[in-house]
Amino acid sequence: MGKLDVVLDRLMQRRALRRWEEIAEAAPSADLETLRGWRSRARAMRRQLDRVIHEAEHRLALPVIGSNAMRRPLGTDWAWRPDLWRGPMPVPGQASVPNRSAFGQGATLFHDCRLSELTVRQIRNERESDVAPFGFRMDVFRFDGSFLSLVIDLPEEAARGLKVRHLIRLDVIVELEKPLEIFARLNVKHGPNTEQIVLEMPLGAEEVMVEFDLTYSKINEKRIEKLWIDLIFEGPEMNQIILRDVTVSRRPRAEL
């Protein structure tokens, strides 16, 4: 819509508003036939206005697409949400998902099923408590493989300036159809070596968090190249897994 169209639209809206203000003032003294006509016109307008208001209130209540708002612990020097939870994917869903399927930049699903009965879909978060614009749903039916993992490649900024005194924090909001063990594995490539730290995510809560402490690792700070996190789902058969949000942050450990 051009500037002229916007101006004309506003003028027409003001004129229509003034006209309905005049009708409202005149309604108490109008004859019944005139009042009946006004009522029909008002009802027709109200139906369309209600549609606009309903759609606007629904969409404006949702988390903003592209939002990077997240909880940042005190002292955080880097925080990030993967694209899968920030913006819409070109293809929102897929059935019979093959191994090594990529979803957006930096999220890849791995499994070793001979026959994939795995369906995935990016969903719009609509709950009042949601901060991330999108969620990621996995429906697992028969599962004849030995592993299912979602690999999240962290951007270069995660490795830049990383020290062994850093804590890497992973926050996940997850919904499960039935209880499921989930493990998180941090991988840090430094030179020809890769350091791995595995933690089990707490069960029984929707919002869960783990922190990877690099203090006792054997990472060579000067040769850190890249980081990635594996979310490993143990025994996922006949389950629905919804990851409402995934964020990663880091902060230096407090000096003792």
- Coil, strand, or helix at residue 174? strand
CA–CA separation, 122 vs 182, rounded Å? 20
Mean pLDDT of the 100-119 span: 90
By C-alpha distance, which of 180, 162, 158 is closest to 243?
Answer: 180
Mean pLDDT of the 45-53 span: 79
Give per-residue pLDDT as tens, 135-172.
Answer: 999 999 999 999 999 999 999 999 999 999 999 999 99
Mean pLDDT over the full length of the chain:
88
pLDDT at position 42 is 86
pLDDT band at 57 (very low <50, low <70, confident <90, very high): low
CA–CA separation, 79 vs 70, rounded Å? 8
pLDDT at position 4 is 73
Q: Determine the length of the chain.
A: 256
pLDDT at position 186 is 97
* Percent of the chain with pLDDT strictly greater than 70: 93
Give per-residue pLDDT as tens, 212-254.
Answer: 999 988 899 999 999 999 999 999 999 999 999 999 999 998 7
Domain limits, the chain: 3-60, 78-252
Place domain 78-252 in its CATH homologous superfamily: Galactose-binding domain-like (2.60.120.260)
pLDDT band at 119 (very low <50, low <70, confident <90, very high): very high
pLDDT band at 6 (very low <50, low <70, confident <90, very high): confident
Bridge partners of residue 207, in order along the sequence: 173
pLDDT at 24 over 60: yes
pLDDT at 20 over 80: yes
Mean pLDDT of the 98-114 span: 90
Exposure string of 203-234, with b = 16+ CB inside 10 Å and e = fewer, is eeeeebebbbebeeeebeeeebeebbbbbbbe
